[in-house]
Amino acid sequence: MNDSNTSQAKQGPALKQLLATKSGGLFSGRWLWLTAALIVIAVAAWLLLRSGEDKAAPRYTTEAAALGTLVVRVSATGNLQPTNTVDVGSELSGIVDKVYVDDNYEVKKGQILAQLDLSRLQDAVAKSRASLAAAEAQVLQAQATVAEARATLSRFRQVSQLSGGKVPSRTEMDSAEANLKRAEANVASVRASVTQARATLQSDETNLGKASIRSPINGVVLSREVDPGQTVAASFQAPVLFKLAEDLTKMELQVDVDEADVGQVKAGQKATFSVDAWPGREYSAVITRVGYGAQEAEGVVSYLTVLEVANDDLSLRPGMTGTADITTLTRENALLVPNAALRFTPATTDAAEKKSGSSVMGALMPRMPRQTRKPRPADSNSGAQRVWVLQEGQPVAIDVQTGATNGRVTEVTGGALKAGMQVITEALSAQP
């Protein structure tokens, strides 16, 4: 028993020391693993935040400013019309007896197109001729009366001279002189009647000629509005029987130019246009007139503009709708930038916030929401604008003076921008 107690007494301190050593090593290993885990978590969080910031960093689409030819065009739509269109009508009322032409007929000046019934007009001419003949006969009768009165007066004067003025009496002499004057006046009256009868005959003959509807020009019949047997009533205004086009090889395109573009359009400018009947084909034209009178339709104000068109092959027809592109400006070797570059404005952030977000502790610490910095306004002077270029990955503003534009690109007339510089046209969204 004593040996056993002694052995236990000797083993006690050694066992306690071993247990203490093992316990301290165990707790020291736990702290090591805990520290390592925290470091790994921190590194992973930093990498995750850094990756998120890289994805959130803005990316841009750029396009180079380049020298080129600026062509400014104005678009307008209208209809083709002959250069000279004539409406042929009738001044007389009556029944259409014959029609000699139809649509698309080529006619010459003076050619008969249609004819009214001539019976009534021919009767009127015959009656007028008879009246003229009667008036001319009355002239002869009146001239005979004048000759008789003149002879009587001459005889009275001879008798008076032979009788020494005793016979005939003074009353007889006065009566003879009055008869001569009345006969001479009657001759003048019947001569006037002859003139009137001749004028009536001429008027009736003119009406007879007007019963034959003739072409006033050399051209083509566009439309016929009358048929044989139809009654023409010309009481208040001349009815339109035919519509003629003088020369279809020369036509005009009448377009409506918007009020925003009319200041650029001038006579003499060249244009091209197309029609639906011939897709893919372009025709040339030249502006001959820009109207001053405004036209308003559905609240839109426009101005009638006339373009001269050559139609040698007769492929164009009156009434066709044409869409014209009028070239108002052509400028060679112009420095051009896309219009999107002039509209672009970047959304910038505070540099201090970027710096605080670049560290691990900053990534782990909460921070205030970012605020977008307002861009500096452009110069208010006419033509002063701003474009943005990339320098070291950051957008930098360059002030420029702008000129004409065609809606896609704009001419740069002044500023520090040079050809070949990449201007920003769009900011791409962050990667998801």
Residue 426: band (very low, low, confident or very high) from pLDDT cuts 50, 70, 90: confident
Q: What pLDDT score does 26 carry?
A: 45
Report percent pLDDT > 90 for the chain.
Answer: 60
**Over the chain, what is the mean pLDDT?**
83
Residue 239 carries which DSSP code? P
pLDDT higher than 70, residue 10: no
CA–CA separation, 89 and 403 (whole Å) = 55
Q: Backbone phi, then psi, for 305, in 5-degree steps?
A: -125, 135
Residue 400: band (very low, low, confident or very high) from pLDDT cuts 50, 70, 90: very high
Cα radius of gyration rounded to whole Å, the chain: 54
**Which segments of 35-184 are extended strands (E)?**
59-64, 66-82, 85-89, 94-99, 106-107, 112-116
Neighbours of 315 (CB within 10 A): 12
**Which segments of 83-163 are extended strands (E)?**
85-89, 94-99, 106-107, 112-116
Span 276-286, average pLDDT: 94
Q: Are 324 and 392 in contact (CB under 8 A)?
A: no
Q: Are 204 and 124 in contact (CB under 8 A)?
A: yes
Residue 37, Cβ density class (10 Å: 0-12 exposed, 13-18 middle, ≥19 buried): exposed
Q: What pLDDT score does 322 carry?
A: 95
pLDDT higher than 60, residue 23: no
Rounded to two decimals, the pTM is: 0.61
> Of the ranges 33-42, 231-240, 352-361, which one carries the lowest mean pLDDT score?
352-361
pLDDT higher than 80, residue 34: no
Q: Are 259 and 294 in contact (CB under 8 A)?
A: yes
pLDDT higher than 50, residue 378: no
pLDDT higher than 70, residue 53: no
Span 120-146, average pLDDT: 95
Q: Backbone phi, then psi, for 364, in 5-degree steps?
A: -80, -25
